[in-house]
Amino acid sequence: MSRLVYVLNGPNLNLLGKRQPQIYGSETLADVEAACRTLAGELGLEIRFHQSNREYEIIDWIHEARETAGGIVINPAAFTHTSVAILDALNAFDAPVIEVHISNVHKREAFRHHSYVSLRADGVIAGLGTQGYGLALRRLAHLIDAKA
List Cα–Cα distances, 117 to 11, 26, 45, in angstroms: 15, 26, 23
112 annotated binding-site participant: yes
Whether residue 22 is predicted with pLDDT greater than 90 in this model: the reply is no
The per-residue DSSP string of 69-115 comes to -SEEEEE-GGGGGT-HHHHHHHHT--S-EEEEESS-GGGS-GGGG--
pLDDT at 15: 93
- Of the candidates 24, 5, 9, 4, the one whose C-alpha atom is nearest the C-alpha of residue 131 is 24
- Per-residue pLDDT of 97-147, as tens digits, reads 999 999 887 776 676 667 999 999 999 999 999 999 999 999 999 999 998
Residue 4 has pLDDT above 70, yes or no: yes
Whichever domain contains 62, its CATH number is 3.40.50.9100
Q: Confirm whether residue 81 is marked as ligand binding.
A: yes
Sorted by sequence, the CB contacts under 8 Å of residue 6 that are 6+ apart come out as 47, 48, 50, 61, 62, 64, 65, 69, 71, 72, 73, 74
Please check if 74 is assigned to a binding site.
no
Q: Is 53 in contact with 14 (CB distance < 8 Å)?
A: yes
Q: Which domain holds residue 38?
A: 4-146
Q: Catalytic residues, which ones?
A: 24, 101
Asked whether 50 and 84 are in contact (CB, 8 A), the reply is no
pLDDT computed for residue 91 by the predictor: 98
Q: How far apart are the first and last CA of the chain?
A: 6
Report the domain count for the chain: 1
